[in-house]
Amino acid sequence: MNGRKEIYDAVELLREVPDWEEVRLVSTSSHIGIREGRRVTGLYKLSAEDLRHGQKFEDGICLVRFGVDVHALESQDKIGYSNKDVVSKPYQIPYRSLVALDIDNLGLAGRNVSGDFWAHASYRVTGNSVPMGEAIGFAAATAAKLGCRLDEVSGSTVSEYMSDRGYEL
């Protein structure tokens, strides 16, 4: 109910923008999408500081350019999206964030990779999830071929593979 109220309030605000006076909301979903979910702690946990500094890693598997995107966090916050003053520079996701710390051979991709709330608000989009999936898939195949665990696969080998595949690092 709160989500729908926020949507209707946002539409009302849009109607105050020139050329948007006639905007109408046709329908809303029967349920809301949940961005925030469980994330597994990996060998490395991406943080807001990594984003702020545009951190590069020896085992980087892709370059993230998508900024921090969060909904209003408190009831007194303005409606809509913000970055809550966490301004990111292009940064890499390290292979280590795709490998679970406490569960052998559990590989991660998408919104459940190892990172804090702010990092998640940036890396969770499809454009970053695709290379994460390819990187952990390559690592799993490499581990099977070598007869080793995911945490024993060389992150720099995964990074090199991703570069050879044309991903921007």
Closest CA to 143 of 108, 114, 105: 105
pTM above 0.85, yes or no: no
Q: Give per-residue pLDDT as tens, 6-44.
A: 888 889 999 999 999 999 999 888 877 766 777 789 999
- C-alpha distances (whole Å) from 120 to each of 35, 61, 141 are 9, 16, 26
- Average pLDDT of the chain? 89
CB 140 within 8 A of CB 133: no
CB 42 within 8 A of CB 77: no
Pairing of strands 70-71, 81-82: antiparallel
Q: How far apart are CA 39 and CA 36, in angstroms?
A: 9
